[in-house]
Amino acid sequence: MKSLEQLGTEQMQREGKLLSQLLGEAGMEDVSSFEASLTEQQSRLLFEIATEIEDTENALRQTEQLVQRLKKHLEQLKGLQKVLSK
């Protein structure tokens, strides 16, 4: 079984080899275009994640408010039941 350090070194070597291949196959303009595309994709993904986080937080707040209203309604019903059962 390989150590964590060996696995990390091998991963870095594979990444370096892949980067060298990409740079060898593509000109500098292609690399710049590729980097710009990656940056744009990253920005778009970060925006989508932030939006999803905000939507989820809002849904959670609404759910918590609904739980509180249902608890209050349940207590009112129990109170009515107690009064009417006497």
Domain boundaries of the chain, sorted by first residue: 4-85
Which tokens hold the place of 61? 């707040």
How many whole angstroms separate alpha carbon 43 and alpha carbon 40?
5
Euclidean distance between CA atoms 79 and 56, whole angstroms: 35
Instruction: Tell me the pTM.
Output: 0.55
Give me the DSSP letters along 49-69: HHHHHHHHHHHHHHHHHHHHH
Task: Report the chain (86 residues): mean pLDDT per 10 consecutive residues.
Answer: 74 79 65 83 94 96 97 97 92
Rg (CA), the chain: 29
* Number of residues that this document lists for the chain: 86
